[in-house]
Chain A
Amino acid sequence: MVSSSALRRGLLASAVFSLFAFDAVAQQPPAPVPATPAAAPAAPALPPGSPLIGRPDNSEAAKLAPVSGPPIATAADKLPTAKLKAPPGFNVEVYASGMANAREIRLSDKGTLFVGSRTVDKVYAVTADKHEVKIVASGLHRPNGVAFHDGTLYIAELSQISKIDNIESQLDNPPKPTVFYTDLPKDEAHGWKFISIGPDNKLYVPVGQPGNNVLHDSAHGQIRRMNLDGTGAEVIALGVRNSVGFDWNPENKQFYFTDNGRDWVSEDVPEDKLNRLTKVGEDFGAPYCYQGNISDPDFGWGHSCSDFTPPAGLLGAHTASLGMRFYTGSMFPKEYKNVIFIARHGSWNRTKKLGGDVVAVTLNKDGTVKSVKPFLTGFIDNNNYLGRPVDVQPMKDGSLLVSDDWNGAVYRVTYGKKVAAH
């Protein structure tokens, strides 16, 4: 299935990434080698979904645990905006704040920004003119995903998808969302969703593996697409551990998605992946193969990484690469044309935190990753989070919005002479 040149390209992408990356990444060997687990698999009897499966029994590893952000949004004047760094010529400002646990963001054609959340129950809307924050839905269970199409807001909760028609004419008094798709597992682990509507006018919905590293059943570990009324659902990608971001290449409409690698193999592998789907039904390897060239220490036996579609590129170990969008705007310098901006939420399963930034990914002509460069950094200070980027959304004027669930805020990155958002 996979040519050795494709695999070499994957390794090359990894090496290029190391060259451009900073901090801890630069210390990694350029080409990862198949990993040996640091210790024997942990004692049995952990639940299938436990994030602690595979945790080696040593005191340094015991210090690592998932980090949940604060439940309350940071006040606008306390946001870490001044500490955020972008390349020369770019400016960072607060676009909207006070939205606890702001996660996926999505603009309407008219410029209303919709914002999902994971640890609270709300979907927010930010008005186009005054950036006023309104709550358009509440009482929902992990409504992480938001999409917008023809005046309708789509909301993905943990195990169901709903919509509100004509949302923008009723932002102050919206009706309850109408549920139209419920054929989803209820697992908490990797159950929250990023959603998007493709150029084929279908709704794309991921279903993650229900845990760190599990032999999932046929309802998990995949990405589905369906008609906008929930009918005609089909699985388009298999072997997906946990994708929380995707978009379509504006040049050829190919589907690209981020996927988070498993925990507890080691500090430095496996890396998160940027995948590309070229054919419906491709298998991307989880839980048998990670980052295209590491056979899983638990489940990889009897399988070969060459049985699976290799990644288009690698995004760093444990970085939690989440929301992504291709950039087609004209505000940024021309080297940003068609790059992919990816929000890396930042690691927990690593002693020295990695990620916690927005990177700009440039593709080769063949669609594989040419380079991964830091774009918006400064979210990690002295190995602690000041904020955690979740999603990116280009605006019509070419500026870029970035959501931060740690602070419950959305920032706007502009280029050139500073002008007020409008």
Chain B
Amino acid sequence: MRAKFAVLALLCAALPATAAETIQERAAQCTACHGDNGQSQTENIPSLGAQQPGYSLIQLFMFREKLRTFEPMNEIAKDFTDDDLRTFSDYLGTLPKPNPPADAPDAARMQRAQAMTQQFHCNSCHNADFSGRDNIPRIADQREDYLAKTLREYKNNTRQGYDGTMSEVVAPISDDQIADLAYYLAHLPKS
């Protein structure tokens, strides 16, 4: 199933964009993997709803320039113009915020992780409600698997980021703590 999504995304990306095509039509190549209404149903693929346009712009730019490596995204973004990058990032910001999982979270784990977000000052740049700002991403109700994967990548330096801030921040956070942080952020009650 996932392979089919990827193929679909690549096919759509290969089609030339015509002036008549709306952004919704062009974004079909995004929703194929990232899901409808801003909510990803695919393992390790992030939800993009209500994402900060400044952050999406940086990521799309980095995919285009191969400063961030993920082959399907590098392929999709490779022929994007600067205006394309802006159009897509602005559009993603207009999609609905993602939802947390329906089941009630483990209260003790949530409490433990919430203390950690203060200890590590996650709330300083990402905002108290983790909605992000400017170039700093929304992480509230992001997929748990994607959050954990990303934090691990920052920790082992396989993802260096735009300005290196996250590499420093994650350095002292243990693997267990990463799991708890990802669980907490993914299960935040929708604001």
Contacts and interface: CB of A to CB of B under 8 A. Distances in A.
Given A71-B58, A121-B67, A50 B168 contact: yes
Interface in B131-186: 134-136, 160, 162-165, 167-172
Given A65-B125, A120-B67, A71 B171 contact: no
Interface in A86-142: 118-121, 141-142
Contact of B168 (A62, A118, A142, A188): A188
Contact of B124 (A45, A48, A52): A52
A1 interface: no
Nearest to B55: A68
Interface string A238-255: 000000000000000000
B93 to A, nearest CB: 15
Main secondary structure of the interface of A (DSSP, over half): loop
Interface in B35-87: 54, 57-58, 61-62, 65, 67, 82, 85-86
B109 to A, nearest CB: 19
B18 interface: no
A43 interface: yes
Contact of A65 (B61, B82, B118, B136): B136
A48 B85 CA distance: 35
Main secondary structure of the interface of B (DSSP, over half): helix
A66 interface: yes
Interface residues of B, number: 32
Contacts of B163: 66, 68, 118-119
A2 to B, nearest CB: 34
B164 A62 contact: no
B172 A70 contact: no
Given A120-B65, A211-B168, A68 B119 contact: no
Nearest to A75: B82
B67 A52 contact: no
Nearest to B122: A52
A68 B135 contact: yes
A68 B65 CA distance: 18
Interface size class of A (residues with CB under 8 A): 20 to 34
A55 B124 contact: yes
Interface in A28-74: 42-43, 45-52, 55, 62, 65-68, 70-72
Nearest to A64: B124
Contacts of B58: 68, 70-71
Contacts of A49: 168, 171
A51 B165 contact: yes
B112 interface: no
B164 A188 contact: yes
Nearest to B67: A121
Given A65-B136, A120-B67, A51 B57 contact: no
Given A51-B165, A120-B67, 5 more contacts: A43-B118, A47-B169, A72-B86, A188-B164, A188-B168
9 nearest A-B pairs in the assembled complex, by CB-CB distance: A188-B164, A71-B61, A49-B168, A47-B171, A65-B125, A52-B121, A47-B172, A68-B163, A72-B82
12 contacts: A43-B119, A45-B119, A46-B120, A50-B168, A52-B169, A66-B165, A67-B134, A70-B57, A72-B86, A118-B163, A188-B167, A188-B168
